[in-house]
Structure 1
Amino acid sequence: MSVLGNVGSEYNFTTTDWLDTGDNAWQLTAATLVGLQSVPGLVILYAGLMRNKWAINSAFMAFYGFAATLITWVLWAYKMSFGIYMLPFVGRPGPVVTMAQELGQSQLPSTSPVLFQNFPLSTMVYFQFVFAAITVIILAGAVLGRMNFTAWMIFVPLWITFCYSIGAYSLWGGGFLFQMGVIDYSGGYVIHVSSGTAGFVAAHWVGPRLKEDREDGRPSNYMAVLIGAGLLWLGWNGFNGGDPYAASADAGAAVLNTNITTAMSLLCWTICDIIYYKKPSVIGAIQGMITGLVAITPAAGVVAGWGAIIIGFASGTIPWLSMNIMGKKVAYFRKIDDTLGIFHTHCVAGFVGGFCSGLFATSQGTAAFGLTNPGGAIDGNGKQVWLQIVGFLFIVGWDTVWTSLILCFIKYVLRIPLRMSEEELAAGSDMIHGEAAYVLGPCEAHEHLLAGNYVRRSDTNQGELGLGGVTIGQDPQAVDKQSSSGTPEGKRD
């Protein structure tokens, strides 16, 4: 069998003049970094932040959301977000699963002029998928500890279709907000305002956790929370650094500004905790880290370093006030059980960043990003502030209405409860999934994992060290007793 050379082949996508291998390599790396923010980042973070009985359920909601989003994305949602014009706020749905599509050059057909990227469409599809996935996973943080898992399974593809895709097309894919000139560098509106709004609305429709879970919300594993937070922070380098769609100078500026704002926000949140609560809090510092990451996202590559510091100060104080003062003293916010405070850390912080983009975007930064906007208010373009407010209001309004419609459809048309039963709420993950997060000895709820079914009693023999019914060794004390007495204590009578 002979192998023909690549020269002249219509299937030769390795030496095409549009492919920049450096850009493609960075884009795939950035996409992987963003993916790591969800799996395992938010999977670990959610498991650690929740009580023991909710750790598995919370982690699994994130894990499922990641997978369900990808299938939705490649079958119809990507083209709704970045495809050919259908309506001012959405593109034509359709699949991107053929080899010709995957190997062809990436482009944004709804922009004028049409924008091309120097890498294949497959790279673009995957890069944009991880953004969609983390959005719905962030949303999940508002309804942890009580949302019916079956309802969640249906909710994810519907929300990606009718909410996320609309925001992505409107702001990024060439839709009406894109044409107006609203700046959303990497998803402050598309991802964070969207997830924060939808999470708060979903918390209203699903209802609160059990009273005991709301009163005792101590994390099950602080070190897991820190590990998840670290993956979020460093993964954000791909989140913001990948959005120029090139290994460009602006990508470097976005990465540096991302870390400057995050550090400043963490410090400010910690200082606020010390002043108000008289002690620094690890969980508080992580909240400050998250609000910093969120706030710099819409502005990362268009503001200077000093602008990043100002945004960090705002994101470390305004969401702190929102969460710790407004969230605890305003009756309506006390009534809505937003489990992880997603509204404050994402919607409020996203607006702070979007508004600051209108103030502090530089003409140099917008030009480096490929925008025609002449900077923000500091460069004499005060109109940009109003454009940012319009973009924010559209996302909040659309997601409020459509998240409500989706949940009402699941509840009243499909007749699937949004909230778990009282029995499931009391038992937690053991009843819902038959699994627990931390198993330190024989546990009847886990024996089905190897046996293939459920049994009532442990198969772990006396004297054996077990992990969920799986024998992992002999108890040394039992072995010593057996050798001295001749009694096989490791055997069942």
Structure 2
Amino acid sequence: MTTVPLAYQNNTSAAVTDWLNKGDNAWQMISATLVGLQSVPGLVILYGSIVKKKWAVNSAFMALYAFAAVLLCWVIWAYNMSFGDKLLPLWGKAKPALGQKFLIKQAALPATTHYYHNGSIETAMIEPYYPMASMVYFQCVFACITVILLAGSLLGRMNIKAWMLFVPLWLTFSYTVGAFSLWGGGFLFHWGVIDYSGGYVIHLSSGVGGFTAAYWVGPRSTKDRERFPPNNVLLMLAGAGLLWMGWAGFNGGDPYAANIDSSMAVLNTNICAATSLLVWTSLDVFFFKKPSVIGAVQGMITGLVCITPGAGLVQGWAAIVMGILSGSIPWFTMMIVHKRSSLLQKVDDTLGVFHTHAVAGFLGGALTGLFAEPTLCSLFLPVTNSRGGVYGGSGGAQFGKQIAGALFIIGWNLVVTSVICVVIKVVVPLRMPEEMLTIGDDAVHGEEAYALWGDGEKYDSTKHGWYSDDTQHNKVPSGVTLNV
């Protein structure tokens, strides 16, 4: 008879209960931290580097502020709206996730018990083998990165005070609805719409929400729209690398356990991302004769986004197919359709989040409806006998469910994001004043990213103030003044 070593037994201390699985708990906290690193410092670095240097501080700070603001709102009310007791078919009941009794008990998502039509249980409530504190933290970093991704549509002109109001409002009235509906036991969860790790909850919602908010905020200055070079390509790649590696926690943590499904998810994630990056780069070389580094990053992101709704549910060959499509279809919408569409041209989506997240997220969800493999589905999904369209049976219906789920997320975000922007506009302007748009970071924050003069804005000692290259030297300077 084999004796289990003491270190692997449960009752080694009062802090190790009978239900605690140390491996699952360790992986869940590691996964959460990897996702957190995607935002801070990942997207902080990426945003601060991919924009014009006069917006480096503002762009990085928008991400940093959102991470902190979402975290606090999450534990005070938003977690239970997303994963707590059902209030409505699309919403949970708001209440804090701060009490000791709540946080040290075994994790459970109470609205997730899945029933047959006759009332008998099909799939039991989700109850991972670690404490609620791990679940709250894991889900929190997903909420954080969603709002930060949305910010990519608004860089270089949104009033920072308006952004400070937008973050908690959008989290409360948009993100929590998508999270509960698809993950927390809402109507799309029980209907069987598949969103393994956030293709809809995170990427489609941030892409549509960002594009909608960009419409209401208005465009960047004309000069910035015409020329907006990254201020540091190497740092941009460092941020992108953190995003890619952090995706192991993003997709690998969503089975809520360190199991075989999480291993499949991590491998498929990397397969799809690499394929997508190579396809996007190849298209750039074929059509534009040069491999764009920014294009490679965009291809990487669309691959990561596309695989997310089906990461642990598709086979490796399907991950390659999804990578080919995610490297080509969003490329086509960004490089061809965007330039020919008056609507897409009118709305100033700074980093093209609509293409890299909304288009790629919708694509990934639809392809999951085709390629979700029955055996892998049985390891993860609450609806038994789920499968993608290529596997016959109920697969055709699954594809239809995927499209319907996407349309709900799109419609909800179009309406709710618009309402939020209109309400904020009553309180503070959504867009910065023109003089701030001319100067950038120093006018908004009183700080600059580099110990150099700004992006065409220089200090004139004879006038005791700033002027822009866009203005003649004999004009009175606008913006910030500085006495010397």
Residue 134 of structure 1 corresponds to which residue in structure 2? 145
Report whether the alignment pairs 1:417 with 2:418.
no
Report whether the alignment pairs 1:402 with 2:416.
yes
Distance 1:274 1:455 in 2: 46
Q: Which has the larger radius of gyration?
A: 1
Distance 2:339 2:14 in 1: 57
User: Aligned-pair distance for 1:15?
Assistant: 2.7
User: Aligned-pair distance for 1:247?
Assistant: 0.3
Deviations 1:380-426, CA, capped at 9 Å, x for gaps: 121110000011000000000000000100112x2x00000001100
Report whether the alignment pairs 1:147 with 2:158.
yes
Distance 1:348 1:354 in 2: 10
User: Aligned-pair distance for 1:455?
Assistant: 10
Q: Which runs of 5+ in 2 are unaligned?
A: 1-12, 114-123, 460-479
Does the 8 A contact of 1:181 with 1:373 survive in 2?
Answer: no
Does the 8 A contact of 1:73 with 1:129 survive in 2?
Answer: yes
* Aligned amino acid, residue 37 of structure 1: Q
Deviations 1:34-84, CA, capped at 9 Å, x for gaps: 000000000000011100100000000000000000111000000000000
What's the secondary structure of 2:309's corresponding residue?
Answer: coil
Deviations 1:110-156, CA, capped at 9 Å, x for gaps: 01132211110000000000000000000000010000000000000
Report whether the alignment pairs 1:433 with 2:434.
no
Distance 2:482 2:406 in 1: 54
Distance 1:239 1:39 in 2: 14
Does the 8 A contact of 1:62 with 1:137 survive in 2?
Answer: yes
Distance 1:365 1:55 in 2: 43
Residue identity over aligned pairs, in percent, reads 58
Report whether the alignment pairs 1:387 with 2:401.
yes
Q: TM-score, normalised by structure 2?
A: 0.88
Residue 97 of structure 2 corresponds to which residue in structure 1? 96
Residue 377 of structure 1 corresponds to which residue in structure 2? 389
Aligned residues: 437
Deviations 1:245-298, CA, capped at 9 Å, x for gaps: 000011000000000000000000001101111111100000000000000000
Distance 1:259 1:234 in 2: 9
Does the 8 A contact of 1:80 with 1:94 survive in 2?
Answer: yes
For 1:59-458, list aligned pairs within 5 A.
59-112=60-113, 113-371=124-382, 372-380=384-392, 381-412=395-426, 414=427, 416-440=428-452, 456=482
User: Aligned-pair distance for 1:13?
Assistant: 5.3
User: Aligned-pair distance for 1:99?
Assistant: 1.1
* Aligned amino acid, residue 95 of structure 1: P
Change (3 A) 1:455 1:275: closer
Q: CA RMSD in A?
A: 1.7
Q: TM-score, normalised by structure 1?
A: 0.87
Distance 2:373 2:14 in 1: 38
Distance 1:46 1:243 in 2: 26
Moved over 2 A (4+): 12-15, 370-374, 440-444, 454-458
User: Aligned-pair distance for 1:367?
Assistant: 1.1
Change (3 A) 1:314 1:13: farther
What's the secondary structure of 1:168's corresponding residue?
Answer: helix
